[in-house]
């Protein structure tokens, strides 16, 4: 497959040979854009035997397809959409986002804070009362602006009740870090904030706010799971990358990359998408002592969580139309479960067929999909603050599904497949000092020709989804070859007196991608 070529307006020096470390969405975005610009002096490497990184999908022996955690594609970019269309054509499904919270043995539609009427009356009262106090500046923390971390932000915005019953327990399960260790800047569009009047109205009038509908649909590859999109980059990039190729060392003085097996390659510019703490701890070397200990040590202060992805394949028709569900309670290890088989008929050993309720012997309120199998993908986070027993996580997950009311005890007999994947690096924690750390580390790397980008290359959760990651790669190439500014990473570049590019990290004053109020004040 060819891509349209665009004329390069880069200066005379140019980036030289570009080596891309990692073939996840970020590396693929960079390589795709280089191809599109007709720049052939590059090569991409990945230690895995496949393209896609954390966005890869696996097919197990029973024929179930699994993603590394529920991947939902909500694109923020026209460019990303166009790449998707070019590679996927019409081979995708369009799904309604139907998300729920499961707690206290009941279902609460998401966003939780707008639907608290579904909770027991005492809990509804505590949530509403705390919310009103908080919003009137009478809570523990007087205002979101006064909050110095995510924990305080939760108290300031949602009040004591919602914090205690949902926000704090749920967020600890997701992040595996106390919210006091996290900053408030990443929130942006990631945490639905609150309209008090709407919350009160829904309780008093008994109405619901569903966060889904025609405007909230997401695309999903028809076959092969999320990873299929990224595997298809091979159609454009064939011959420009090597898999099964681990990078062991990068010499910042000699500008060489050393691979497992001893082979070395020179580069002019290095794009790294591996975790930046690992890069500085284990991979970057200098015989001349170029790398300051302070830079190496500072990067080690970045925090992350690991994730256990457990897939449960069941020989039964799917009992639900839900997309995914959140679990704040401690009766189950996971924070999120996805009905993955609802995303496409081809995620299970046999495809299902859509049926019309009330016809062909199907009840009005029964299953809408006639298939013999369905699948649940369950995600559990782990860290030093939240240890998880790898040996028992599959059984703990099954028991959790039963405790939470998603499966019955006798359904155990219908489990035909279990799948486990551990992501050592799953969520980049937006810790309170993250932006300061990045503001030291990223510019230093760049001044030595190393551009660290992507979910763990840039460590910004708020711009670490597949679309953001791919665009971080694209925008970096646009900067290197066309002199354009990168926007996604939130780093603004100024030309300094000595003519070199310097990075000014704006995240410490301006919050994540959606926080318009703070952005306006900055």
| Nearer to ligand FAD (CB atom), residue 158 or residue 427 | 427
Reading the block at residue 501, the tokens are 């590019």
**Listed ranges 39-47, 394-402, 486-494, 500-508: which one lies at the site for ligand FAD (CB under 6 A):** 39-47
| Nearer to ligand FAD (CB atom), residue 183 or residue 488 | 488
Phi-psi region of 483 (alpha: psi -120 to 50; beta: other; left: phi over 0): left
- Does residue 21 interact with ligand FAD by CB under 6 A? yes
Specify the pairing of strand 217-221 against strand 264-266.
Answer: unpaired
Phi-psi region of 244 (alpha: psi -120 to 50; beta: other; left: phi over 0): left
Site for ligand FAD in 56-115 (CB under 6 A): 68-73
Query: Phi and psi for 105 in degrees, rounded to 5?
Result: 60, 30
Which of 203, 423, 450, 491 is close enough to bind ligand FAD by CB under 6 A? 423
- Does residue 476 interact with ligand FAD by CB under 6 A? no
Reading the block at residue 58, the tokens are 């696996």
- Does residue 161 interact with ligand FAD by CB under 6 A? no
Measuring CA to CA, which residue among 321, 309, 319 is closest to residue 414?
Answer: 319
Site size for ligand FAD, by CB under 6 A?
A: 36
- Does residue 46 interact with ligand FAD by CB under 6 A? yes
| Nearer to ligand FAD (CB atom), residue 455 or residue 507 | 455
Phi-psi region of 455 (alpha: psi -120 to 50; beta: other; left: phi over 0): alpha
| Nearer to ligand FAD (CB atom), residue 259 or residue 385 | 259
- Does residue 246 interact with ligand FAD by CB under 6 A? yes
Which of 455, 479, 505, 507 is close enough to bind ligand FAD by CB under 6 A? 455
Minimum CB–partner distance for residue 273 and ligand FAD (Å): 4
Whether the bond between 111 and the residue before it is cis, its omega within 30 degrees of 0, is yes
Note the residue count of the chain.
Answer: 522
| Nearer to ligand FAD (CB atom), residue 123 or residue 274 | 274
Query: Phi and psi for 131 in degrees, rounded to 5?
Result: -65, -45
Note whether 511 and 188 are within 8 A (CB): yes
Reading the block at residue 125, the tokens are 């009262």
| Nearer to ligand FAD (CB atom), residue 5 or residue 281 | 281
Which of 54, 250, 271, 445 is close enough to bind ligand FAD by CB under 6 A? 54
Where does this chain bind ligand FAD (CB under 6 A)?
21-27, 45-48, 53-55, 68-73, 246-247, 273-274, 307, 379, 423, 426, 454-455, 457, 464-467, 469
């Amino acid at each position: 497959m060819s891509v349209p070529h665009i004329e390069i307006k880069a200066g005379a020096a140019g980036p030289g040979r570009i080596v891309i470390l990692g073939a996840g969405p970020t590396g693929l975005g960079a390589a795709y854009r280089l191809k599109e610009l007709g720049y052939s002096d590059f090569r991409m490497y990945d230690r895995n035997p496949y393209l896609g990184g954390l966005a890869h999908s696996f097919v197990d022996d029973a024929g179930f397809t699994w993603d590394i955690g529920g991947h939902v594609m909500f694109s923020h970019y026209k460019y990303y959409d166009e790449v998707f269309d070019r590679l996927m054509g019409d081979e995708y499904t369009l799904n309604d986002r139907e998300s729920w919270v499961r707690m206290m043995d009941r279902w609460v539609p998401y966003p939780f804070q707008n639907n608290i009427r579904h909770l027991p009356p005492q809990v509804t009262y505590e949530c509403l009362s705390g919310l009103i106090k908080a919003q009137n500046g009478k809570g523990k923390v007087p205002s979101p602006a006064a909050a110095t971390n995510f924990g305080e932000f939760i108290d300031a915005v949602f009040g004591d009740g919602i914090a205690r019953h949902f926000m704090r327990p749920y967020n600890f399960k997701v992040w595996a870090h106390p919210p006091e260790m996290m900053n408030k800047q990443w929130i942006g569009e990631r945490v639905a904030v609150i309209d008090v009047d709407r919350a009160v109205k829904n309780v008093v009038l008994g109405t619901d706010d569903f966060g889904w509908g025609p405007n909230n649909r997401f695309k999903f590859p028809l076959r092969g799971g999320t990873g299929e999109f990224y595997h298809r980059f091979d159609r454009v990039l064939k011959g420009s990358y090597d898999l099964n190729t681990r990078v062991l060392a990068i010499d910042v003085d000699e500008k060489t990359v050393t691979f497992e097996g001893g082979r070395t390659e020179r580069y002019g510019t290095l794009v790294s998408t591996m975790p930046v703490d690992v890069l500085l701890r284990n991979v970057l070397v200098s015989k001349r002592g170029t790398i300051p200990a302070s830079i190496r040590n500072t990067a080690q202060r970045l925090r992350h969580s690991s994730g256990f992805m457990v897939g449960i394949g069941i020989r039964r028709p799917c009992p639900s139309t839900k997309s995914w569900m959140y679990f704040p309670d401690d009766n189950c290890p996971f924070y999120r479960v996805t009905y993955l088989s609802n995303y496409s008929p081809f995620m299970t050993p046999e495809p299902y067929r859509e049926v019309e309720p009330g016809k062909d012997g199907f009840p009005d309120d029964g299953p809408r999909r006639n298939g013999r199998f369905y699948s649940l993908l369950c995600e559990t986070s782990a860290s030093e603050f939240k240890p998880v027993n790898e040996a028992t996580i599959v059984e703990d997950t099954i028991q959790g599904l039963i405790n939470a009311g998603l499966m019955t005890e006798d359904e155990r007999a219908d489990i035909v497949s279990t799948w486990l994947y551990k992501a050592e690096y799953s969520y980049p924690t937006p810790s309170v000092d993250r932006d300061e750390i990045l503001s030291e580390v990223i510019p230093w790397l760049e001044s030595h020709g190393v551009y660290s980008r992507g979910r763990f290359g840039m460590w910004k959760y708020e711009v670490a989804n597949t679309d953001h990651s791919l665009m971080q790669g694209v925008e970096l190439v646009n900067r290197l070859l066309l002199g354009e500014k990168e926007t996604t990473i939130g780093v603004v570049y100024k030309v300094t007196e000595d003519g070199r590019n310097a990075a000014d990290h704006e995240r410490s004053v301006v919050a994540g991608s959606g926080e318009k109020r703070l952005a306006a004040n900055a």
